Chains A and B, each alone.
Chain A
Amino acid sequence: MPRFIAIRVLEGLATLLVSSFLIFGALYLAPGDPLSYLIGNRTLSDEAIAALREQYHLDDPFLVRWVAWLGDVLSGDLGRSITYRDDVLSLLGPRLATTTLLIAYALVVIVVIGVGLGIVAALSRRALSDVILAGTSIGVAIPSFVAASTLISVFAVGLGWFPAFGPGDGFFDRLYHLTLPVIALTLASGSYVIRVTRAALREEAARDQVKAAVARGLPRGTIIGRHILRNGLTPVATVVGLTLTSLIVGSVVVERAFALDGIGALLTEAVAKKDFGVVQAICLLLITAVVIVVLIVDVIQVVIDPRVRERQGIAA
C-alpha cells in the first residue's frame, strides 16, 4: 500500500511538472506585453523600462524563466502580481477561503443529495425513480452560467430569498450567500451523479450475488447495505471524484456570475489584464487540486475493492 501511494504521488508530481511547463509556455506565447499594463499611460525612460523588464525577468530565455519560476514556486514564492503590485500568495490567501468553502459546500451537496437521490432512485418503485430520472435529464442539460443567471433573477431579484452577490460574513451567513452559487454549480454535475449512482446500483442489484443473498433470507437492510451499496461504491466514488474536479474548474464561472471574491474571479480578472504571475499560480493551484483529488479517488478505490488491489498487485 505505501508503495502504491508513493508511485501515485510521483505520477501526480510528474503531471504537475508537465502542466507547469504547458501553463508557462502558453502564457509565454500569448500575445500582449504585461509591461504595457505595468506602465499604463505613463511615459517611462528606456532605462526605467529596462529595469522593470529586468525586475520581472522578461528578457530571459523561456527555459531559464520556467526553471526560475518553478524554483520560486517550490520555495513558496508564487511571484508577484503586476496589477496588484503584491505577492500572489497574499492575494490568494483570503480568496482561497471563499473558493474552498464554495467547493466544499458543493461537494457536500453532491454527496448527500446527489448520491442520496441516486440511491433512492435505484431502490424505489418505478414511479418515483422515473420522476427523479426525468428531473436529472433536465438538470444535466443546464450549464452553470445559465443556471446562475436564472437563479439570480428568480430567487435573488424576483423572490428576494437569497442575496444576489457577495460572500457574506461569518460562517452561516457565508453558507447562506453561497447557497445559490452552489445550486448553480451542482445542478448539472449533481444530476449526473444521481444518474450514475442509480445505474451503478441497479447493476449491482441485478447481480447473482444479490439473488443469492435474497435466497439466504438476509434482512433487506443487509442486502441493500452490504451487497448493493457496498459494491456500487467503486463507480460512485469515481464519479464523485471526477465531479469534484469539474466543480473546481466550474467555480470560475459561478464566482464570476455571483460576484464572489474567490480564486475564479481573480483568475478571469488576471487573464484579462495579462497578470501572468497570478494566472500561472492559479492554474497550477487548480491542477494541483485536481491531481490530489484523483490521487484520493485512486486510494479510495484500492481501499474499498480488493479486486482493484489484486489488479494493482498490492498486498492489503
Chain B
Amino acid sequence: MTELLEVEDLVVELFDGAEWVRALDGVSFTVAPGEIVGFIGESGSGKSTAVNAVARLLPASARGSGSIRFDGRDVLAFRQRELARFRSEELGMVFQDPRASVNPVTTVGEYVTEGLRKTKRMPRAAAYARAEQLLGEVGIAEPAQRLAEYPHQLSGGMLQRAVIAAALSTDPRLMLADEATTALDVTRQAEIAAILRAATRERGLGTIFITHDLELAGALCDRICVMYRGRIVEQLPAEELHGGARHPYTLALLRSRPSIEERMPRLPTITAADREAFLTAPAVAAGGVGGASASEASTSEASASEGGAR
C-alpha cells in the first residue's frame, strides 16, 4: 500500500516564553489512504503538535528537523501559495470545540460553503447545493434550514457534524481530527466517530484521530500510536491494544482507567519511577498495517532548519 502521509524523525521545539521545549522528539509514522490512525497519550504528550506540524499550523517561532511528506511531496518545503493550496485542497481539519472553530457571526451555510466559494471559486448557489448534500451525508436533518441558521442555534454535536461537512466539502485526502469528539457527550462521540469512519472508508481518506478515549480509539482506529513526552513509544494495530500492548507506558495507560468489571477502590497512578521507566524502555513497533516503524528513542540534534508553519 502506498502511503499518503509519511512523517519521519520529526523533531519540533517550541519556545514557551522562557526556554525551548522539545514538543516532538523524533516522531515517525505513516498514514495510508482509507486508514484511521489513532494518537493517544496524555495532555502535553505531543499529539496535537504532531497534527499541527502536518498542517504547518505551529507558531512561526517553532524550530526543528525531520521530514513530512504528503503524497511524496515535501510539506515543510511548501511556500506560502503551495501551503494554502495544500491546506485547501488536500487537508480537512476538525478541532475539539466546534463552537470555537466556527465563526459565530455568520450562518452555518456561510461557514460550510466558505472553502468552496473562496478557494475553489464555486458560485454561491452551487456551493450551497453541495453543502446541503454534505449536511445530509453527515446525518443532519433538514439541511437547507440548518444552513440558514447561526452556529449558536445548533447543538454541539450537530455543529461538529457541520464542521466535518465543511472539512469534506473540498474533497480532501487527509483528515486531521484533533480531539474531534472530546467536547461531546458519549452518544454524540460515537456518532461523530462513525461519520469519520464512514468518510474515511468511502472516500479513501487518510485520517489521524487524536483522542484521550482509549476505548474509542480501539474501536474506531486501524492503528494506534501511543505518545509520551514527545515520542511515539508504541505503535500497534488497534485490535491489539488490549492484550497486545507491551510498552510500560501503554500498559500503565490501560491500567489507569476504571474498569466496569471489577471494583477498584483506587486507580493506579503513575510514579516518578514509572516515568523513568517509560522513557528508558525501547519504543515498540508491532509489525502492523502499512509497515510503520516507530521511532527509536534517540534524541537527534535539532538543526536550525524550520519545522513549523512559516
List A residues at the B interface (Cβ < 8 Å): 207-209, 211-219, 222, 226-227, 230-231, 304-307, 310
**B24 CB to nearest A CB, Å:** 18
Closest residue to B93 on the A side, CB-wise?
A: A215
Verify B95–A212 contact, CB threshold 8 A.
Answer: yes
Q: Is B2 an interface residue (CB 8 A)?
A: no
- Nearest 4 CB-CB pairs, A to B? A217-B88, A217-B87, A212-B101, A208-B100
Query: Chain B: residues with CB nearer than 8 A to chain A?
Result: 55, 57, 83-89, 91, 93, 95, 97, 100-106, 114-115, 118-119, 150, 152-153, 166-167, 170
Closest A residue, CB atoms, query B85: A217
Contacts of B150 in A (CB 8 A): 306-307, 310
Chain B: CB-nearest residue to A218? B118
On whether the beta carbons of B91 and A215 are closer than 8 Å, the reply is yes
Check A208–B103 contact: CB distance below 8 A.
Answer: no
The answer on a CB contact under 8 Å between B105 and A217 is no
What are 14 A-to-B residue pairs whose CB atoms are below 8 Å? A207-B100, A208-B95, A213-B103, A213-B114, A214-B87, A215-B93, A216-B88, A218-B88, A226-B103, A226-B106, A230-B103, A307-B105, A307-B150, A307-B152
**A231 — which chain B residues lie within 8 A by C-beta?**
103-105
Chain B residues near A305 (CB, 8 Å)?
Answer: 105
Do residues B103 and A209 form an inter-chain contact, with CB atoms below 8 A?
yes
* Chain A residues, CB < 8 A from B93: 212, 215-216
Which residue of A216, A305, A306, A310 has the most chain B CB atoms within 10 A of its CB atom? A216
Say whether B118 contacts A230, CB under 8 Å. Answer: no
A289 to nearest B CB, angstroms? 29
A208 to B99, CA, bound (A): 9
Q: Across the interface, do B89 and A209 meet the contact criterion of CB distance under 8 Å?
A: no
Q: CA–CA, A208 to B103, complex, Å? A: 9
Which A residue's beta carbon lies closest to that of B103?
Answer: A209
One of B55, B57, B87, B101 near A209 (C-beta < 8 A):
B101
Query: Which residues on the B side are within 8 Å of A213 (C-beta)?
Result: 103, 114
| B114 near A218: Cβ-Cβ < 8 Å | yes
B101 contacts A218, CB within 8 Å?
no
CA distance A216 to B85 in the complex (A): 9
Question: Given A215-B55, A218-B88, A218-B114, A307–B104 Cβ distance below 8 Å?
Answer: yes
Query: Given A209-B101, A213-B114, list of 10 further CB < 8 A pairs?
Result: A211-B95, A214-B57, A215-B55, A216-B115, A217-B88, A222-B114, A226-B106, A230-B103, A306-B105, A310-B150
Cβ of B167: which chain A residues have Cβ within 8 Å of it?
216
On chain A, the residues within 8 Å of B86 by CB distance are: 217
For the complex, give the distance between the alpha carbons of A22 and B192 in Å. Answer: 61
- Docked-complex contact A230 and B101, CB < 8 angstroms: no
